[in-house]
């Protein structure tokens, strides 16, 4: 039995909250602040897990199941995401569809839990999240289909082991276009700035944050941790396409993905500091644009 994939999964589980800290630290740097420690999310999780939970009398078991089911879905999703170019724990033909559906399932339970509270604000957030994720999903799936067609791989592990943008003479333009589309999907799915603002505290403008307002204590910890894992999962998908893979020493090749993810977190922080959030009616335009890019990549590979 190979130990490598398990170790990689363990690193993902332990390292994911660090990335959120890096994003926040980058934003603090651009705002001229010192910012919270990089390990802040770990402290927050430890604090939240020690607390008790309070449940409204209007909620049912759906509300309590939401965070647990969401975390379970993203944990399963992590098992099919390759670690850079190293294969994932589980790899089978068509596993990228499973990845997309697991992420959709996570969103679905979050939306159900939000609707279960009966709060009109949470319903509004749920409606927006449903709309935006429905628009982001074609970009993800068509983009991955283009990569699959380009590389001839049928599982994520095969696909990502083949592509690398750093070696430009070997790379195909389709992979470059898909990586742009996936970056937009990455920002949208992780509720980052052009689409959603993780720092906002005005219920009218919130999307993801408003849906988890009623969760507290351990439930909130599960949600925050799940969000960090989702950041890691989609980030390693994107980095697997961008970063080089083959032809490095094992130790160096292993360090490429964590380094790339930290770089991606810094890039996210820069995007968040340098851009304003898009108006809500402009967001579908951005996501449809990402889907158009994915279709472009697919058409180019089908030629």
Partner 1 sequence: MTVWTDTLLVFVLLGDFFLLGSSRIRASIRTVAAQGLLLGFLPLLVQEGAETPRAVFLFAVGIGLRGVAFPWLLFRAQRAVMVRREAEPFVGFTPSLLAGTLGLVLCFWLGARLPLPRPAASVSSLVVPVAFFTIFTGLFLIVGRKTALAQVLGYLVIENGIYAFGVSQALVEPLLVEMGILLDAFAAVFVMGITIFHISREFDNIDVDQLASLKDWEP
Mark 112-151 with x for binding to partner 1 (rule: CB under 8 A) and - for no binding. Answer: ----------------------------------------
241 close to 178: Cβ distance less than 8 angstroms: yes
Residue with smaller CB distance to partner 1, 173 or 218: 173
Candidates 113-121, 167-175, 236-244, 267-275 — which segment interacts with partner 1 by CB under 8 A?
167-175
Nearest distance, CB of residue 261 and partner 1, angstroms: 26
Q: How many CA atoms lie within 13 A of 79 on its CB side?
A: 12
CB environment 130-164: b (16+ within 10 A), e (fewer): eebbebbbbbbbbbbbbbbbbbebebbbbbbbbbb
Residue 86 β-bridge partners: 83
Residues from 169 through 228 that contact partner 1 (CB under 8 A): 169, 173, 176-177
Candidates 5-13, 78-86, 252-260, 287-295 — which segment interacts with partner 1 by CB under 8 A?
287-295
**Residue with token string 């994939």:** 5
Residue with smaller CB distance to partner 1, 25 or 172: 172
Residue with smaller CB distance to partner 1, 117 or 294: 294
* Spatial separation of the C-alpha atoms in residues 220 and 53, rounded to whole Å: 9
Binding residues for partner 1, total number by CB under 8 A: 18
Candidates 53-61, 87-95, 99-107, 165-173 — which segment interacts with partner 1 by CB under 8 A?
165-173
Nearest distance, CB of residue 20 and partner 1, angstroms: 31
245 close to 164: Cβ distance less than 8 angstroms: yes
Nearest distance, CB of residue 296 and partner 1, angstroms: 6
- Counting DSSP H helices and E strands in the chain, the numbers are 11, 0
> What residues have CB less than 8 Å from 74, skipping those under 6 apart?
102, 103, 106, 226, 229, 230, 233
- Map residue 299 onto helix, strand or coil: helix
264 close to 232: Cβ distance less than 8 angstroms: no
Candidates 79-87, 166-174, 235-243, 251-259 — which segment interacts with partner 1 by CB under 8 A?
166-174
Residue with smaller CB distance to partner 1, 64 or 149: 149
Of 168, 199, 246, 252, the one binding partner 1 (CB under 8 A) is 168
Of 22, 141, 221, 296, the one binding partner 1 (CB under 8 A) is 296
* Spatial separation of the C-alpha atoms in residues 226 and 183, rounded to whole Å: 19
Nearest distance, CB of residue 293 and partner 1, angstroms: 7
* Spatial separation of the C-alpha atoms in residues 77 and 89, rounded to whole Å: 11
284 binds partner 1 (CB under 8 A): yes
Residue with smaller CB distance to partner 1, 198 or 244: 244
Instruction: Give contact residues for partner 1 (rule: CB under 8 A).
Output: 168-169, 173, 176-177, 284-285, 288-289, 291-293, 295-296, 299-300, 302-303
């Amino acid at each position: 039995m190979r130990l490598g994939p398990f170790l990689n999964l363990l690193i993902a589980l332990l390292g994911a909250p660090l990335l959120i800290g890096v994003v926040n630290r980058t934003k603090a740097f651009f705002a001229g602040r010192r910012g919270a420690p990089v390990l802040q999310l770990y402290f927050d999780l430890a604090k939240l897990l020690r607390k008790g939970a309070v449940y409204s009398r209007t909620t049912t078991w759906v509300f309590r199941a939401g965070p647990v089911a969401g975390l379970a879905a993203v944990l399963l999703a992590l098992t099919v995401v390759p670690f850079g170019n190293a294969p994932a724990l589980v790899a089978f033909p068509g596993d990228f569809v499973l990845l997309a559906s697991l992420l959709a399932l996570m969103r679905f339970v979050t939306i159900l839990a939000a609707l279960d509270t009966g709060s009109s604000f949470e319903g509004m957030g749920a409606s927006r999240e449903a709309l935006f994720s429905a628009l982001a999903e074609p970009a993800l799936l068509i983009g991955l289909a283009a990569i699959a067609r380009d590389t001839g791989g049928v599982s994520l592990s095969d696909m990502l082991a083949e592509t690398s943008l750093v070696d430009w003479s070997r790379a195909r333009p389709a992979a470059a276009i898909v990586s742009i589309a996936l970056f937009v999907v990455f920002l949208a799915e992780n509720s980052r700035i052009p689409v959603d603002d993780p720092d906002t505290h005005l219920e009218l403008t919130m999307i993801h944050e408003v849906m988890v307002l009623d969760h507290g204590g351990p439930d909130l910890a599960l949600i925050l941790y799940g969000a960090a894992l989702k950041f890691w999962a989609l980030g390693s998908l994107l980095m697997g396409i961008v970063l080089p893979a083959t032809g490095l020493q094992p130790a160096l090749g292993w360090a490429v993905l964590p380094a790339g993810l930290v770089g991606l977190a810094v890039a996210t922080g820069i995007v968040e500091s340098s851009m304003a959030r898009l108006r809500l009616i402009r967001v579908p335009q951005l996501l449809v644009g990402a889907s158009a890019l994915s279709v472009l990549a697919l058409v180019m590979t089908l030629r």
